[in-house]
Homo-oligomer: A and B are copies of this chain.
């Protein structure tokens, strides 16, 4: 070893010991004849003191930032202690040193607040990784990994590796494919998830499976998506939904404890998908704060369970001659706490905010609920003060609150209300980085309608089971949609899935379902998704076959490992938690990959380019 100790371990009790350290030169400070060097390694920083006797040598072989050196000397007490670092009580009086490797001047500073821009840091990722901020993220990632493995091991889960070179079965996202040289003209696909393999393992009797595993999706990369990403992938046999929820909320609680030192003892709230959309306009609500949606008007079909509720409590906002509300499919309000004194300018700015194309509203109505009990609105001429009060009450507004009202098409308006809620939550400091609120969202629709082919697509994936009560509806009805504009009246529109998402602070961190395990139901599902029998057999014959030989009831979940780490680390970007991430074009700018390949490779693979 080039060292007797690391740069993070020497303490006051080590004084007078002779030690050898090795690491990187963080800083060099000269005070007259004496030179102080902060030596850095993975474990910390230790101050080295080069006395006058080493000056000639330092002149002959000068040190520089990021040089790798080895230094031997005696541990001494510092006169000027640094309480901010664990080795701050001591320094090393260097007796000899050796430069192990020089360094060019780094293109940016290796500091928490570096002067390097994103692109530069990605190109020199090996230097960016030296920064404490990035190192902490990777350490947190490893801690989550370790904690998850320990918990799952203690609960009899087995890590079983599934293959990476599999079969292309495009269904949902796009596959990355790999040309096979030995089977010319044929391709492997990289797995979007080990879904079918983990189900086969259940058929094989392995009972409790897990893997922390890379998955691949060739999608256009919107903000903060990566073509390769990591899942904590789990599956269990002989379970019902409740068993999965308990097992995996305890996994997350364990991770909170191990990684953040947080005892998450609260009950984890559960909410149906319909309730989440109704109250938050969003299937992954951030429940760290209230500001729930007040549904003033909405199309009946969207919330069939709300019809009774609707009749008793809906406020008649449609008969006031205000055409914006009259013509809108949906009208939604939220009450923003304590903002009744917002200026015209502030309200205008927020109105512009909801009019941006990303949000897409035409405008926004407000009601100021003044401290004196009066109500002022931008639509005073259409609504009496009583009516305004009625709306404000419906939104649970208190005196001093500001109510915003959005109107338009159901989907866009509800989404806009959700975005506005999150934005106001952020502005008012209600989304606290150190507060963590878990939530299960349940009872998702099994199907979504796609206009493109006038057919159903699986909302989760084609292996998700309907709710037991809904299996008969699925089996006994023809999936064909006769009239495109009346798809909502099709019995399939109301089939709910045995599926669940875990939401943390407004982010989906995991999702899963109880699976179909009967061949007939699985075949019906494929048919419902517009797959011919032949196509289903070609793509998933192995799974249908497996279901014939004693498939047990089973279900599972997969957590987005990158996302989970980023939330636990208090960051919005998953890239900060990946050692070597790709940019928005799917490029690794450090490697300069992807890149061209040799003619010989094309020849061996028997493929050629066909560029447009």
> Contact partner of A216 among B100, B164, B517, CB < 8 A?
B164
With the chains together, A345 CA to B153 CA distance in Å? 57
A158 at the interface (CB under 8 A from B): yes
Q: Number of A residues whose C-beta is below 8 Å from B?
A: 125
CB of A165 within 8 Å of the partner chain? yes
B102 A170 Cβ-Cβ under 8 A: no
Verify B593–A188 contact, CB threshold 8 A.
yes
5 contacts between A and B (CB under 8 A): A179-B179, A181-B218, A182-B586, A183-B594, A542-B590
Q: Is the CB of B580 within 8 A of A197?
A: yes
8 Å CB contact of A187 from B106, B189, B239, B594: B594
If the complex has contacts A178-B190, A186-B594, are A163 and B238 also in contact, measured as CB distance less than 8 A?
A: no
CB nearest neighbor in B for A69:
B550
CB-CB under 8 A from A604, the residues of chain B are 174
Query: In the complex, what residue of chain B is closest to A184 when comparing beta carbons?
Result: B611
Contact A145/B159 with A126-B546, A201-B579, A550-B68 known, Cβ cut-off 8 Å: yes
- Asked, given contacts A238-B22, A582-B165, A611-B184, whether A200 binds B593 with beta carbons under 8 Å apart, the answer is no
Among the stretches A303-311, A352-360, A407-415, A595-603, the one at the interface with B is: A595-603
Query: Cβ of A545: which chain B residues have Cβ within 8 Å of it?
Result: 124
Task: Give the 4 A-B residue pairs with the shortest CB-CB distance, closest first.
Answer: A103-B550, A167-B593, A129-B204, A186-B594
C-alpha gap A602/B177 in the complex (Å): 10
Partner of A588, one of B166, B208, B602: B166
> B-facing mask of A552-581, CB < 8 A → 1, else 0?
110000000000000000000000001110
A426 contact set on B, CB distance < 8 A: none
User: What is the bound-complex CA distance between A591 and B200, given in angstroms?
Assistant: 11
Chain B contacts of A102 at CB under 8 A? 550
Q: Is A430 in the interface zone, CB < 8 Å from B?
A: no
Give bound CA distance, A596 to B170, whole Å: 12
Q: Does A214 make an interface contact (CB < 8 A)? A: yes
Q: Are A101 and B1 in contact (CB under 8 A)?
A: no
Contact indicator per residue, chain A 136-170, by CB within 8 Å of chain B (1) or not (0): 00110110011001000100001111111111101
Which listed residue (B190, B227, B580, B595) contacts A162, Cβ 8 A? B580
Determine how many copies of this chain the complex contains: 2
Give the CA-CA distance A142 to B180 in the complex, in Å.
30
Task: Given A24-B205, A178-B176, A551-B68, answer yes or no on A153-B146 (Cβ-Cβ < 8 Å).
Answer: yes
Cβ A138 vs Cβ B166 within 8 A: no
Main secondary structure of the interface of A (DSSP, over half): loop
Q: Chain B residues with Cβ under 8 A from A22's Cβ? A: 238, 552
Q: Using Cβ atoms and an 8 Å threshold, which residues of chain B touch A100?
A: 552-553
Interface pair B204/A127, CB less than 8 Å apart: yes
Cβ 8 A contact of A1, one of B168, B189, B239, B579: B239
Q: Across the interface, which residues of B come within 8 angstroms of A23, CB to CB?
A: 205
Residue of B nearest to A552 (CB): B68
Q: A601 near B550 (CB under 8 angstroms)? A: no
A230: Cβ under 8 A from any B Cβ: yes
Residues of B within 8 Å of A586, CB to CB, are 165, 180, 182-183
A45: min CB distance to chain B, Å: 12
Q: A587 in the interface, Cβ–Cβ < 8 Å?
A: yes
**Contact A550-B67, Cβ < 8 Å, known A164-B216, A166-B591, A596-B185:** yes
B contact residues around A185 at 8 Å (CB)? 596, 609, 611
Cα A582 to Cα B580 in complex, Å, equals 29
Cβ-based interface call for A297 (8 A): no
Q: State how many angstroms separate the Cβ of A568 from the closest Cβ of chain B.
A: 16
What is the minimal beta-carbon distance from A514 to any residue of chain B, in angstroms? 12
A163 touches B588 (CB 8 A): yes
Q: A67-B550, A106-B549, A163-B580 are known contacts; what are 16 more A-B pairs with Cβ within 8 Å?
A: A1-B238, A68-B551, A101-B551, A103-B548, A129-B204, A146-B159, A164-B190, A165-B594, A167-B588, A177-B179, A178-B190, A178-B594, A182-B221, A185-B611, A187-B596, A602-B610
